[in-house]
Amino acid sequence: MFGLNRTINKFCDLRGKVAIITGAKQGMGKTHALILAKAGAKVVVSDISQEECQLVVDEIKKNKGEAIAVKCDISSKADVDNLIKETLNKFKKIDILVNNAGIFPFQPFLEMEEKDFMKVININLKGYFLCSQAAAKEMAKQKSGSIINISSIASIKGFAGLSHYCASKGGITSMTRAMALELAPMGIRVNDINPGAIETPGATGGKDKKGDEKLTATVPMKRWGKPEEISNAVLFLASDESSYMTGSVMVVDGGWVA
């Protein structure tokens, strides 16, 4: 169902690993959680809705995986500290952090208020900082870990009506490189994935058919990506198969920015 073939199952083995995924109640985050669990990781499913996170946990457990749900607003340090605390209470360590949570409200630049800009920055960029710093402090104790930041091709190209989103995603990609340099001596790898147009509830829920067709026409592969096509990249970066990769930016966009 999630595009996991035998090769990936064999080589991207996460048994014994503990992974936190933010923004995991639906869309790409949910798929990340399911695929990492299928690869053997113990998973912490985190988002702003405890109930929806629990549904993902129930699905993982139904397939013999191990997981817990933790409600967390990643823009709140208190919430992030609790996320780390609950993870350690249950699983005793943190090996993998997938920073996936984010918002992208369309808004014309000239109509955007400061509070609108800061809401996106606080969740999309500050939230990644808070989660990464808190998780990295624990990873440093064991001298190993993998932090995977889900950015966007909006860090590379501009999109009208999304100046705040583009700013946040550009910040994530730049922060990834700086974090990678600082954390490498501690055995912690930090990498970035830049998805293009992906079929998720957030991306497809409000778009019109003409807009879909126009966007699809700009993608060389002439289609939107599927969440599992990003999750398979997450799985690779979470695993020891990517042990010599840090500070990398992996673009998964059907050739859109090529």
Catalytic residues: 165
Would you call 90 exposed, middle or buried from its count of C-beta atoms within 10 A (0-12, 13-18, 19+)?
Answer: middle
- What is d(CA 168, CA 101) in angstroms, rounded to the nearest whole number? 12
DSSP 124-161: IIIHHHHHHHHHHHHHHHHT-EEEEEE--GGGTS--TT
Half-sphere exposure of 134 (CA within 13 A, CB side): 25
Which structure tokens are listed for 257?
Answer: 């920015």
Nearest Cα residue to 172 out of 85, 25, 74, 36:
74
- What is the DSSP secondary-structure string of 49-87? -HHHHHHHHHHHHHTT--EEEEE--TT-HHHHHHHHHHH
Among candidates 236, 229, 75, 26, which has minimal Cα distance to 148? 236
Torsions phi, psi for 12 (to 5 deg)? -95, 70
